[in-house]
Chains A and B, each alone.
Chain A
């Protein structure tokens, strides 16, 4: 069956290879495919869907009509074109067309320099809202507790602007949450001092005092300088409330509640760039881009001060801030939100729950919590200590509590109920994400392990090469009661791979999953399953045989470029809060190259993302202009030195 892969794996290693090896694609070949399959409808006075393919006849069109070319490839890859009622593309033509367009567009895009994409207005998501209210009011109160969860878009994160829609229920909840958070904060003297910074006195009328308070509160809430008109609007609310007999505090809370349901607070709004050319993002905007990336919250005073001084466009200063921000306790929120969505472990305890009867060990409070936090704190440790990212594939340490160490049957001294970094014994099979219970559980069924789910998880989450879904109507695989003795899961799946319809993908999925069969649903080590010894050997179609977790890690190490590229793509998508396009892949290429030169150090990844064109720049009024000097490849095709 035809593969539908993200554009960016096509240039590199094809773990799930294309069904048909087409001959080397070229411009003439692509033109022939377009002529034979598209032009009948898409040309002339009224081209179908107002989409004229005849504008794509010249090589120049690859630059001047890049968007149109992009649309062709998107529609074809989605299987939307050609439509169902006309002749389908052959698999070879499909592959030829999409591969050629993607690689050519990408190459041209990168050679011209990188074009920043518009940063759409974006609602704070549920987590960002909670953290922002916490920091704005200095309250330990989860204001987002009653808000609905947000879905994900783009690279798979719930901070993607495109899927942060609003329902009527949000309006009710925001109104209520602001009221509750303010009421809660005003009763705690430490919190109150953070937002009610002035009171009426002999020298100050209530109105004058309130003006000072609102003038201090509003720029923090809106994360930018405000106008006098804006201050007046909320002072108006204060006045109204005071007039109807509210106390000074009560009237201020009413005004602040208004601030906290304003779109200026609830949304991240870009500063307009009136010039034609792209430019560096404005300083206050940069402060928010940094803080929502690395903390998932509003900027702190230090960032506001740097923004006011115009220092957040200086690369040296930005690198300094990365170090500071990653050491801050708020970086935990970043690690949690990124890792849980990247690895899918957020679903643990939601849709995916190990069976309580079969795995009571998982439901010990400390064990469950330690399992959930292990990958998060592990990632945070790698960031805080600037360790190589390849630790995520294999490492000589992990994050344990007393009970998790026992769960893993590892002897480590001086552990407690609180998770902490612990060195693993020599030759331990743990280490790296694939030995972590959270990952192993989220890629299992509630009551049994599944080499298919685990193999798919590795291809999707770690390597970024998700296999296509199984075709419908998969026939029954003959199992028990067909004459022979009962089969093991492995024998069962080998039948699976004997079926040519299934083999294409399962010969790549299953061996990866089988190597982890030494781990049960909740990540405990086992040498037997249902009374039979587990067999963890496997072989990928294009590689040597390997066995067990150690074997898997050596296979993953041979594909570390794919892994690092996937991680970079995910993290850039998270940092930008949107799905990546061809233009962004130029930035990804450049970051991956830099990581390779620098032992894959984690700070390089964060710094390079922050210094990248998509993160730092905003487009001007003229669409499609690249940032000068940002080309990552030369016109002749080589990487820039």
Chain B
């Protein structure tokens, strides 16, 4: 957005920022060579769509291997063999709570977030992507990548008593640690780049600097009360983890696989996508880039913040905003438009899947080594209900996911069971996750 009276001119800003991109990436890439396992690692992403779906246009017809995609899922037809479709999963933890906030912030945690305008912010769990990142994140330059389109929504929602922070986060590193997202494609690119190939001596200097600063911060800790100590511990832990990452850079023994794709500096994207559609596509490109270069193996992405009123009039036949259409009141015209918006999201998902399918490593599509989840925290936006959630999982997860089927489970099977199976396929198996009752039968090959 242009700001006529902003005291700093745009050009000046651009001149100042993001200069140091001349870093040589080659040494770092080569340092990661040497005798490593040859089997490519499994990648995992979760794509979150706000505001639910048109319930009658979602569920595929038929069960097992012989199924027919619904109108909303139809853009995935060429990828039918790569899909694992699960019907009747629900997120028990997100039952109750007025409005959307409980649904979205608990989507990957399967817990009930605490109702608060801020003071008691707590998801009461950890998101499944962060379980994976904490177990295996050390093998890649970035443990995980959190992406979105819009900045955190302004304000608190006094109507329902929740801070809008909840509506803007799906990744939680811990009960009180929602993970901030990057929303600017160029910054994502630069972050991936810096993580991939930090100049060895810069990294060393930065690590030294942080080490000294951490020393000072520890002295400070003793002067603080317990709540303040917790906040400072948050600081200590993020700074410490950056320091460790910088120290690790250039130590190939931590790396367990050498990516087959070289870094492509020419794909550097724009700061200012021309519209919502381009913005989303660029973020999809960044996920694909991060996966093929093995900069991270774990990503989460939010198409928009929950309760988003994104204008979808750019779609033929749509004239209203997203959230208002989701409260369709069973009006046929609103439901028709709502479905078109759902379908558009599926098309973007298909774009990412196709992209990952077209990139090959050792003769195999990256998609075959990935698990890309698409979903929403509620089914019918008019009802706000977390039963029978709209979910698609795509990619064979390194041969672990039994794709090419639509499974219909008994009503109210925990969504957490799917996460248990996904974590298993990812190589970070867990006994239990939140309200899980076991792995999801039939999900694993």
> Which chain A residues have a beta carbon within 8 Å of chain B's beta carbons?
4, 6, 78, 80, 84, 118, 120-121, 123, 140-142, 145-146, 148-158, 160-163, 165-172, 175, 180-181, 183-184, 230, 233, 236-237, 240-241, 254, 257-258, 261-264, 266-267, 269-270, 272, 340-341, 344, 346-347, 349-353, 355, 357, 365-366, 368-370, 372-373, 417-419, 445-447, 456, 460, 466-470, 472-477, 479, 578-579
- Seed contacts A152-B155, A240-B208; 11 additional CB < 8 Å A-B pairs: A140-B12, A148-B151, A154-B117, A156-B154, A166-B235, A168-B242, A261-B213, A267-B232, A269-B224, A447-B319, A466-B158
Name which residue of chain A comes closest to B330, CB basis. A476
Q: Does A447 lie within 8 Å of B320, measured CB to CB?
A: yes
- Least distance between A75 CB and chain B CB atoms (Å): 10
**Chain B nearest CB, measured from A393 CB (Å):** 21
Q: A118-B225, A169-B180, A472-B382 are in contact. Are A258 and B209 (CB under 8 A)?
A: yes
What chain A residues lie within 8 Å of B184 (beta carbons)?
A: 146
Q: Is the CB of B187 within 8 A of A146?
A: yes
Report which of B159, B309, B320 forms a contact with A468, defined as CB distance below 8 A: B159
Give the A-B contact count at a CB cut-off of 8 A. Answer: 256
Can you name 16 A-B residue pairings with CB atoms under 8 Å? A141-B16, A149-B151, A152-B118, A163-B163, A167-B179, A168-B173, A169-B179, A263-B216, A263-B220, A344-B154, A355-B311, A365-B2, A445-B321, A446-B309, A479-B331, A579-B118
A151 touches B164 (CB 8 A): yes
B146 to chain A: closest CB distance in Å?
Answer: 8
Q: Which of B151, B165, B321 contacts A163 (CB 8 A)?
A: B165
Residue numbers in A under 8 Å from B8 (CB-CB): 140-142
Contact between chains at A152 and B151 (CB < 8 Å): no
Instruction: For residue B75, give the distance in angstroms from its CB to the closest CB of chain A.
Output: 25
- Is B33 at the interface (CB under 8 A from chain A)? no
Whether B165 and A167, one on each chain, are in contact in the complex, defined by CB atoms closer than 8 angstroms, is no
Interfacial chain A residues near B115, Cβ < 8 Å: 78, 80
Chain A min CB distance to B130 (Å): 11
Q: Is the CB–CB distance between B156 and A155 below 8 Å?
A: yes
Is B19 on the interface with A (CB-CB < 8 A)? yes
- Which residues of the other chain, A, contact B177 by a CB distance below 8 angstroms? 165, 167
A155-B156, A351-B305, A460-B159 given; A121·B231 CB < 8 A: yes
**B residues near A340, Cβ cutoff 8 Å:** 154
Partner of A351, one of B5, B12, B153, B187: B153
Are A153 and B313 in touch, CB under 8 angstroms? no
Question: For the complex, is B38 an interface residue (Cβ under 8 Å from A)?
Answer: no
Q: What is the interface residue range for chain B against chain A? A: 35 or more
Task: Please tell me if the beta carbons of A469 and B98 are within 8 angstroms of each other in the complex.
Answer: yes
In the complex, B68 has a CB within 8 A of chain A: no
Which A residues touch B146, using CB under 8 A? 167, 169
Query: Is B96's CB within 8 Å of the partner chain A?
Result: yes
Chain B minimum-CB-distance residue to A246: B205
User: What is the CB-to-nearest-CB distance from A631 to chain B, in angstroms, rounded to a whole number?
Assistant: 26
**For A477, what are the chain B residues with a Cβ–Cβ distance below 8 Å?**
329
CB–CB A120/B4 < 8 A = no
Per-residue CB contact flags for chain B residues 191-215 toward chain A (1 = under 8 Å, else 0) read 1001000000000011011101101
Chain A proximity of B3: nearest CB distance (Å): 6
A265 to chain B, nearest CB (A): 10
Q: Are B151 and A446 touching (Cβ within 8 A)? A: no
Contact A369 B5 (CB under 8 A): yes
Question: Of B155, B212, B225, B309, which one neighbours A258 at CB under 8 angstroms?
Answer: B212
Question: Quick check: A140 and B212 within 8 Å, CB to CB?
Answer: no
Asked if residues B216 and A264 are in contact (CB atoms below 8 Å), the reply is: yes
Which of chain A's residues have a CB closer than 8 A to the CB of B330? 475-476
Which residues of chain A are near B224, meaning CB under 8 Å? 121, 269
A154 touches which of B3, B152, B156, B173 (Cβ 8 Å): B156
Residue in contact with B16 in the complex, picked from A180, A474, A476, CB distance below 8 Å? A180
* A233 x B117 contact (CB < 8 A): no
Q: Give A352 to B384 CA distance when docked, in angstroms.
A: 22
A457 to chain B, nearest CB (A): 11
Q: Is B160 in contact with chain A by the CB < 8 A criterion?
A: yes
Chain B residues in 8 Å Cβ range of A355 = 311, 313
Given A162-B119, A166-B234, A469-B159: A237 in contact with B3 (beta carbons within 8 A): no
**How far apart are B21's CB and chain A's nearest CB, in angstroms?**
12
Q: Is A230 touching B327 in the complex (CB atoms < 8 A)?
A: no
In the assembled complex, B23 has its CB within 8 A of some CB on chain A: no
| Partner of A145 from B17, B182, B212 at Cβ < 8 Å | B17
| Residues of chain A within 8 A of B359, CB atoms compared | none
How far is it, in angstroms, between the C-alpha of A579 and the C-alpha of B320 when the chains are bound?
35
For A352, list chain B residues within 8 Å (CB). Answer: 309
Assess whether B311 is in contact with A262, with CB atoms less than 8 Å apart.
no
Residues of B within 8 A of A372 (CB): 3
Determine if B152 and A150 form an interchain contact, defined as CB atoms under 8 angstroms apart. Answer: yes
